[in-house]
Structure 1
Amino acid sequence: MSCPDAIGAEDRATAGTVSTRVDVAIRGVRLAAPVRRTGGAGPSDDGHVVLGGLATALPLRSDSPYLVREGRLVREDPLGALLEVTDLGIEVEPVQRPRFYDLATTDGIPYEKIAKLHGRDVLATTVVQTCSRYAPEDRCRFCAIESSLESGSTIAVKTPAMLAEVAEAAVRLDGVKHVVMTTGTSTAPDRGARHLARCVRAVTEAVPGLPVQVQCEPPGDLATLTELKDAGASSIGIHVESLDEAVRRRWMPGKSTVPMAEYRAAWTEAVRVFGRNQVSTYLLVGLGEDPDELVAGAEDLVELGVYPFVVPFRPLAGTLAVDVDGAGAPGAAVLEDVSRRVAKALRAGGMRGADQMAGCAACGACSVLQNLNG
């Protein structure tokens, strides 16, 4: 059931604006976006804009009723042979192509193939663009991490030196404020975390004080979390995507072999190392998990000190989502209800994405939670 007092607690958006933000997150927008993300590890495949003052990632869809006209979000609905056009009162500004995209390393690798601009001020990179769980029988059904490698839009392995060079330019030329580093899962016991640590150390030495979030599966040895922190990481995402075992087996056949007890141990240790609200995990709405159970799990994560980054699932090109029965974006009512309740739990727990030092929750662009002050 939804919480009727949640609306009264909002202080950053009206109820109507939140409902519009939810709907456009699912139905997308007609817009030419200079900065966009396609393919990759998911779960989003979007254009980046500033919507109502907040960095926002929106699906770019030619069949959306929403479009941007003269810097405003409008909606067109059929009205007989005509269109009824409604100005929704929300300003929209596309994020402009960053200047660091025009540069290349001395051996000719474009910076854009090493790291991307996300939101309006986040540098994001997948340090290893392959995954040991990418065989069809093991692959996460929402993930296309190797598709961008196959298309030639990135390179397989980003070295610490490369990332340091790009980060320095992105900060200097485009005002990047924090970095997200994720990785495909390796077969090593640390599942790729130690390469992340080497990359973080290089970036923070090149740009002292630049906050960096790392994202990885629970490393086999929890002491690796301290290595990541000592290397200079400010926060960490240990992403489970769903807390429901049946959903995990159906959507993440390889990743679901990592027991939930191992995730919980990693989250607990990460909170000890990085601090409360500097640890996060994705929860995807629309994979088939019961909404009440999803919210209850999110509330438990908040109690643990972990930020549940609630994001709508949308099937991406190049993924195996079509092989999952009932795959599709969640209904707007479900996404709004879940987001409101999770935002309420976050506020009660004194946790806001904006208070994270770096990473997806700090950016907030892929979620509705920032619109609810969560």
Structure 2
Amino acid sequence: MDNASALAPADRDRVSTRVSLALLGVRSDAPVRRTGGAGPSDDGHFVVDGEGAAIPLNPNSPYVITASGRLTRDGADLGFDVAPVVRPKFYDLQTDEGVAYDKIAKLHGKNVLATTVVQTCVRYDESERCRFCAIEASLDAGTTIAVKTPAMLAEVAEAAVRLDGVTHMVMTTGTSNGWDRGAKHLARCVRAVKAAVPQLEIQVQCEPPADLQAITDLYDAGARSIGIHVESMDDDVRRRWMPGKSRVSMDEYRAAWREAVRVFGWNQVSTYLIVGMGEDPDEAVEGARELIEMGVYPFVVPFRPLKGTLATDVDKVPAPHRAVVDDITSRVAQLLHAAGMRGEDQKAGCAACGACSILKTAGA
């Protein structure tokens, strides 16, 4: 097939069902789940037809996972094999200081270790905060610690690889006041993990650093993919949803993306694009086109209500209409397919995992 619009009817139905699952969730238990944090939602982690999927847990969802591992709606089998991700063995361990490993890093999808190396953000004051973000909620709830040291992360990563077959890792950070916006600590953490587990591929995620040398420093530390997340290419949307972060101009983002592509390579750089913040669908797709032409993978995800965020607790913003998510995701998948750009070709990270998006189901 040449593009996403050429999907066979059965494949189109699968994409449509995955969109609905992302928005409506599923009725099921999930031993591995994520609540709070930076988003995108309160999810359970599943394996759907062999691929990791992060799906909201919703007791009122029309979708049910049966005891035999089939996805049904109104009793009808929808043709998906689904199984909850098994609780990893490394969750039962702790450091010599008594810090539980699952407070240091979490399993995402079926084989990704993820951590926020600094769980605080200079933009977390209500007037500055990204309205979809609850990065400090899990800290307040006591389910994580504020700062993960390089030694801690190396210890947990080694155990996760050895005991649970983790194959890649995501390291993100809250934004700091420094010129590096958190990149220096990320680099220290990457270097320690690579020393302990050299085969583990790592993606880092941060805001554009004021000095772009930090991008090379992250690569030299051992990271092989990078996410520089803008969430929307529309400045009006950015000002409404990200009042503090929007002061980092689109020119700064573009400069950082270009430098990251130069350093990390084509299709080893990504950015989240969130559908459902009021953007025009055609403009959202054109923004994705610009990113693809730069060599940046636009990781399209739907906005999903998350407890602890301003968007959910104050603004009461609902999830977007499924037709909008389906339309934008399918059109971006078509552009990615035409460019020969696939998330699974990234060395590590969110696009490589794909669990929070429908792009992989759509062929990208």
TM-score by length of 2: 0.97
Match runs of 1:85-100 below 5 Å: 85-100=75-90
- Where does residue 6 of structure 1 map in the other structure? 4
- Cα offset, 1:72, TM superposition: 0.4
- Where does residue 252 of structure 2 map in the other structure? 262
Match runs of 1:75-224 below 5 Å: 75-76=73-74, 85-224=75-214
| Equivalent residue for 1:371, pick from 353, 356, 361 | 361
The one-letter amino acid paired with 2:89 is R
Aligned 8 A contact 1:251 1:324 in 2: no
Aligned 8 A contact 1:10 1:373 in 2: no
- Where does residue 310 of structure 1 map in the other structure? 300
The one-letter amino acid paired with 1:130 is T
- Cα offset, 1:18, TM superposition: 1.1
- Cα offset, 1:325, TM superposition: 5.5
Distance 1:243 1:174, change over 3 A: same
The one-letter amino acid paired with 2:194 is T
- Where does residue 352 of structure 1 map in the other structure? 342
- Structure 1's consecutive aligned runs of 4 or more residues displaced over 6 angstroms after TM superposition are none
The one-letter amino acid paired with 2:59 is S
Match runs of 1:11-90 below 5 Å: 14-69=11-66, 70-76=68-74, 85-90=75-80
5+ residue gaps, structure 2, are none
Counterparts of 1:152 and 1:96, CA distance in 2 = 23
Counterparts of 2:15 and 2:354, CA distance in 1 = 14
Aligned 8 A contact 1:33 1:49 in 2: yes
Identical pairs, percent? 68
Match runs of 1:250-289 below 5 Å: 250-289=240-279
- Cα offset, 1:183, TM superposition: 0.2
- Cα offset, 1:323, TM superposition: 6.8
Q: CA RMSD in A?
A: 1.4
Find the residue that maps to 2:22 and give its secondary structure.
helix
Residue by residue over 1:316-348, the C-alpha shift from the partner in whole angstroms, topping out at 9 and shown as x without a partner, is 000100477672211111111111110111111
- Higher mean alpha-carbon deviation, 317-326 vs 178-187, is at 317-326
The one-letter amino acid paired with 2:128 is D
Aligned 8 A contact 2:5 2:334 in 1: no
5+ residue gaps, structure 1, are 77-84
- Cα offset, 1:363, TM superposition: 0.2
Paired positions, count: 362
